[in-house]
């Protein structure tokens, strides 16, 4: 555990991506199995210990120290694990740290009742940095500036293997990844995932920005507003995966029987309707799809009212043949042939957008918002299917964002490097004329779109304009206006305003604009396309 604690400590205080890669790679090379496998799982949020929650830690600390001291300290530090590790009463005996594997074994068997005696026993064996690492591992909230992709890249760097291969094998394996380390570190044969319905990493696109492409070399498709999915059939089983590799099969059971032959298909999960692209587009808004997302069980009424289907973009594997090295044009031809084998009620084919030249395509893109479509995808006709983003192969050309002026209402501290700053902002618009006493209603929350220097100014504004506090949340005097960019807005029963923004971010801080000039709810409601 000391080595793992040292790794976590170093990652927290390291900004450099290359240095983070080196730190993780060195740890993986120097640490024996299975400790390194459990550590890799922790860094990629692959561990879950149901008995240990943040509330559990708070309860244990408030039983051991003054509750007011805990509350004030937690508010100042901004992180439960860090606060607890520093305030935990030092044991009488010298630390005798467990290994990572020992800690994982102990955490795995803890229950909601036994955790209050067994977790303190572990914490008493560690110093402050060890306690911090253990609590981060136990709660699953590492927040040390390491993404899953970066951790996989560090593995590849440590053992001189391809990160694409790591991605390929990853989803068919479980912690502590014995087969993966045997392959990478010891030269054993690669893990056999051929007959498992495992996730393959998606090919992704770069924003087009100022690039102009030749349409003789690129093909255009609509970028539909659903969620990117992968449907996999292997070994007699079918699985549906999200873009992040999460298995969402239980949420969309109607799709599992729709693919009954060995294949890996790439597409957009949508709900039947006419919001996107009208009757010809055949897809409802993202808001309709959202009614089904995240559900563990799906009722017959939900299946009837929000029927899902996949609009296919690409085919990776079919009948045991890997097509990913083929150019897009050949994969497209194979996909068109494949449509005859797929039920029309559950699948259709993403259409190619015809344009005479790039300027003509720009004109077509200009109508994307009216059609409630996200924008366009531009794919090089000779591009193979390569995991991740490769420059020059695929571009996304999204419609321009919507802009609205909102008033800052509440602020909350961020996490990780932002734990000392009020960086999460809730903002609202006026429900009528503010000069006539109209109410300000929340319409969104954002924590991006500003520089580090702007963050410091915003933090200072929040601290000096606080009028009320609700635990970690500060209410401001509603004197600052944000120009907020967002992709779309939908009706929502979960919010007092009746509206919910999609992908809101701070576009500009309007220090110069008086709050009564911010936009009104009626202006946002006019933008709803449902």
- Of 342, 375, 398, which marks where a domain is finished? 398
What is the pTM assigned to this prediction? 0.75
Count CA atoms within 13 Å of residue 374 on its CB side. Answer: 21
CB atoms within 10 A of CB 329: 13
- Of 398, 431, 458, which marks where a domain is finished? 398
Structural domains counted in the chain: 2
List Cβ neighbours of 439 (8 Å cut-off, separation of 6 or more): 430, 431, 432
Helices 17-30 and 2-12: angle between axes, nearest 10 degrees: 170
Distance CA 402, CA 404 (A): 7
pLDDT at position 382 is 97
Count CA atoms within 13 Å of residue 264 on its CB side. Answer: 21
Is 347:310 a contact under the CB 8 Å cutoff? Answer: yes
Question: What CATH number did the domain enclosing 367 receive?
Answer: 3.30.470.30
Burial class (CB in 10 A: 0-12, 13-18, 19+), 470: exposed
Report residue 202 as tokens: 């998606």
Is 462 among the domain residues? Answer: yes
What DSSP character marks residue 520?
Answer: B
Beta bridge partners of 93: none
pLDDT at position 416 is 65
Which of 523, 519, 518, 525 has its CA nearest to residue 498? 525
Distance CA 423, CA 426 (A): 10
Is 507:481 a contact under the CB 8 Å cutoff? Answer: no
455 and 337 part of one domain: no
Which of 39, 35, 33 has its CA nearest to residue 11? 39
386 and 437 part of one domain: no
Is 144 among the domain residues? Answer: no
| Continuous segment of H or E residues that includes residue 155 | helix 148-159
Is 157 among the domain residues? Answer: no
- Of 342, 369, 398, which marks where a domain is finished? 398
What three-state secondary structure class fits 482?
A: strand
Distance CA 308, CA 250 (A): 13
Is 520 among the domain residues? Answer: yes
Question: What CATH number did the domain enclosing 417 receive?
Answer: 2.40.50.140
Place of tokens 């929340």: 442
332 and 436 part of one domain: no
> For each of the chain's 530 residues, which pLDDT tens digit applies?
999 999 999 998 888 899 999 999 999 999 999 999 999 999 998 899 999 998 999 999 999 999 999 888 887 887 888 999 999 998 877 788 999 999 999 999 999 999 999 999 999 999 999 999 999 999 987 878 888 889 999 999 999 999 888 988 988 889 999 999 999 999 999 988 878 899 998 999 999 988 899 999 999 999 999 999 999 999 999 999 998 888 999 999 999 999 999 999 999 999 999 999 988 899 998 888 988 988 888 999 999 999 999 999 999 999 999 999 999 999 999 999 999 999 999 999 999 999 999 999 999 998 888 888 999 999 999 999 998 888 899 999 998 889 999 999 999 988 767 778 899 999 999 999 888 888 999 999 999 999 999 999 999 999 999 999 887 889 999 999 999 999 888 888 777 888 888 889 999 999 989 899 999 999 999 888 75
448 and 520 part of one domain: yes
Is 107 among the domain residues? Answer: no
Is 309:270 a contact under the CB 8 Å cutoff? Answer: yes
Is 15 among the domain residues? Answer: no
Strands 206-207 and 394-398: parallel
278 and 348 part of one domain: yes
208 and 330 part of one domain: yes
Q: What order of strands is seen across the sheet that includes strand 206-207?
A: 206-207, 394-398, 375-380, 218-223, 352-353
List Cβ neighbours of 291 (8 Å cut-off, separation of 6 or more): 271, 302, 305, 306
Is 139 among the domain residues? Answer: no
Strands 218-223 and 237-242: unpaired
377 and 454 part of one domain: no
348 and 421 part of one domain: no
pLDDT at position 327 is 98
330 and 412 part of one domain: no
Place of tokens 């509603």: 478
433 and 392 part of one domain: no
Is 164 among the domain residues? Answer: no
| Continuous segment of H or E residues that includes residue 134 | helix 128-139
Is 273:281 a contact under the CB 8 Å cutoff? Answer: no
322 and 293 part of one domain: yes
Distance CA 295, CA 251 (A): 6
Distance CA 105, CA 529 (A): 51
387 and 330 part of one domain: yes
- Find the domain containing 476 and state its range: 402-525
């Amino acid at each position: 555990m000391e080595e793992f604690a040292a790794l976590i400590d170093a990652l927290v205080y390291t900004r450099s991506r290359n240095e983070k890669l080196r730190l993780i790679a060195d740890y993986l090379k120097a640490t024996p199995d299975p400790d390194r496998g459990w550590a890799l799982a922790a860094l990629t949020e692959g561990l879950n210990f149901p008995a240990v929650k943040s509330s559990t830690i708070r309860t244990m600390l408030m039983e051991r120290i003054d509750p007011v001291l805990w509350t004030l300290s937690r508010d100042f530090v901004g992180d439960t694990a860090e606060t607890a590790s520093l305030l935990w009463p030092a044991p009488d005996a010298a630390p005798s740290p467990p290994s990572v594997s020992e800690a994982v074994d102990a955490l795995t068997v803890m229950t909601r009742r036994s955790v209050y005696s067994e977790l303190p026993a572990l914490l008493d064996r560690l110093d402050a940095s060890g306690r911090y690492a253990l609590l981060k591992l136990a709660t699953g909230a590492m927040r040390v500036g390491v993404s899953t992709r970066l951790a996989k890249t560090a593995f590849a760097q440590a053992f001189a293997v391809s990160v694409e291969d790591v991605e390929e094998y990853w989803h068919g394996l479980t912690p502590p990844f014995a087969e993966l380390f045997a392959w990478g570190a010891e030269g054993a044969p690669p893990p056999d995932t051929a007959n498992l319905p495992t996730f393959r990493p998606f090919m992704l696109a770069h924003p087009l920005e100022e690039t102009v492409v030749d349409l003789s070399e690129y093909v255009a498709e609509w970028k539909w507003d659903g969620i990117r999915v992968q449907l996999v059939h292997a070994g007699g089983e079918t699985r549906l995966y999200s873009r992040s590799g999460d298995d969402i099969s239980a949420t969309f059971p109607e799709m599992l029987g729709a693919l009954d032959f060995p294949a890996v298909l790439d597409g957009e999960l949508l709900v039947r309707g006419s919001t996107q692209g009208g009757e010809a587009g055949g897809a409802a808004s993202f808001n309709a799809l959202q009614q089904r997302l995240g559900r563990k069980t799906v009722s017959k009424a939900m299946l009837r009212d929000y029927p899902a289907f996949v609009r296919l973009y690409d085919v990776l594997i079919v009948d045991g043949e890997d097509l990913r090295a083929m150019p897009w044009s050949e994969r497209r031809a194979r996909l068109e042939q494949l449509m005859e084998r797929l039920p029309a009620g559950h699948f259709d084919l993403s259409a190619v957008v015809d344009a005479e030249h790039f300027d003509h395509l720009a004109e077509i893109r200009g109508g994307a918002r009216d059609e409630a479509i996200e924008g366009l995808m531009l794919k090089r006709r000779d591009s193979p299917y390569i995991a991740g983003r490769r420059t020059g192969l695929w571009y996304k050309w999204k419609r321009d964002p919507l802009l609205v002026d909102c008033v800052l209402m509440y602020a909350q501290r961020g996490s990780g490097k932002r734990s000392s700053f009020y960086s999460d902002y809730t903002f609202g618009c006026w429900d009528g004329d503010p000069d006539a006493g109209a109410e300000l209603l929340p319409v969104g929350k954002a924590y991006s779109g500003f520089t580090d220097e702007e963050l410091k100014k915003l933090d200072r504004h929040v601290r000096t304009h606080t009028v009320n506090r609700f635990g970690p949340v500060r209410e401001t005097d509603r004197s600052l206006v944000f120009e907020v960019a967002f992709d779309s807005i939908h009706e929502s029963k979960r919010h007092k305003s009746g509206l919910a923004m999609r992908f809101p971010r701070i576009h500009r801080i309007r220090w110069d604009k008086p709050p009564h000039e911010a936009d009104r709810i009626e202006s946002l409601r006019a933008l709803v396309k449902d």
